[in-house]
Structure 1
Amino acid sequence: MKTIFYRTICSLFLLTLFISCSSNGNRPTFTTSAGIETLKDKLSDTFDKDKQISQIIFFSKNSTMDAIEQISIFFPENNKNTMWFYNYATGQLHKPEAKEILKSVPKTNAISAFNINECHVYFKEAIALIENETDEFSNYRVESYHMSTDQTSGKIMHSFTLNTDKKTMKRTFYGEKVNDHLYRFEFETNEDGKLIATHGLDAFEE
């Protein structure tokens, strides 16, 4: 009887582990290639690839996880700055009423022009920039990621915030301290598409 009980418990444990691993492998995230593909599929299923937008923003579920919780797009419509967002918790595309009047029509790009693959590339480059300066951090994850149409050049620019865990309690000169273990870094691309650190890597910044 005990043998059957233990076998049942083990089977349930393995099933739970399998479901958990499968779920993690399919979640939208910038940290893995599989996560990028999942995100691209959701974009394709949710938005018209030819829709002209000024920017798209991805938000994580919380500061401790890398799973994307919300996708927001911004575009001009009826002389207003309009925002739609897809939320993974609700599983729906929300279209709130636009209220902000535009002073001028912003430059836009088709959603298909926003290369989501680049997000993973820049994420890895950001980690390299940090680790070239210090080995104090680990477990890097995106808090928010912005892709926007530059209003001068029309190019698509990237900017994002990384959360990371500090390995020890020892004082550091890098990153913005959120709590004892959580630190934050910020990055953006320049006109040449090169990634630069804008906050957290200058040990002397105030």
Structure 2
Amino acid sequence: MATASRREAREASAQAADRHRAQTALPVTRGVGRPCRAAVRRLATVGVPCGKPPGRRPPAASRPDADRHGMGLIEILIAIACFLTTVLPIMHMFSFTIENSKVLYARAVVHSAISEMATQLQSLAVAEIPADDYDLTGIRSGPVTLVTGNPHTRIDLSPLPDGYFRTLRVSDLPDRPGKVIRLGVIVLDQPRADLELSFTFVTHQGGR
């Protein structure tokens, strides 16, 4: 009697296990191997996820969007280096051209100012001009009398741009009568354009 009771208990337990497996298994429709909607709804109510079973995320190399990424730090640095290598010589060329044009303009103004003074000094009584350094930095333009009260030592100066200053130095010739006159122009913002020229005037009879 006890043996029959144990056998019935085992059969009941096996039937209960079979029913449980049948309830939790996903029914297959038309032999395709896909779960039916009723089974999906039943599993969703008990918190069983549908679709692919949980697992590790595939590596980046195997994902289809792995090749769609932005530029890295190395690529950005290489791009900046190439850009600077291309642009810097062009900028240097333009700055060099602009600087040279400023120097050429300054030299043209300097040569014109010195030629103007030299031309006027040739018609003056050079022998009457004493040896000295004449300060012309404060004189922008207009008539200038080198010897006070002597109209034969007067020169007329044309206006110069701001930052340009004339210089005048007169010295005696050591071996014969005459004067050495040094004319110069100083440019404050373009030192390469500074210029000083010497002119020798030999004094003959009559003071010229």
Structure 2 length as normaliser, TM-score?
0.25
Going by fraction, where is strand more abundant, 1 or 2?
1
Q: Which has the larger radius of gyration?
A: 2
Going by fraction, where is helix more abundant, 1 or 2?
2
Structure 1 length as normaliser, TM-score?
0.25
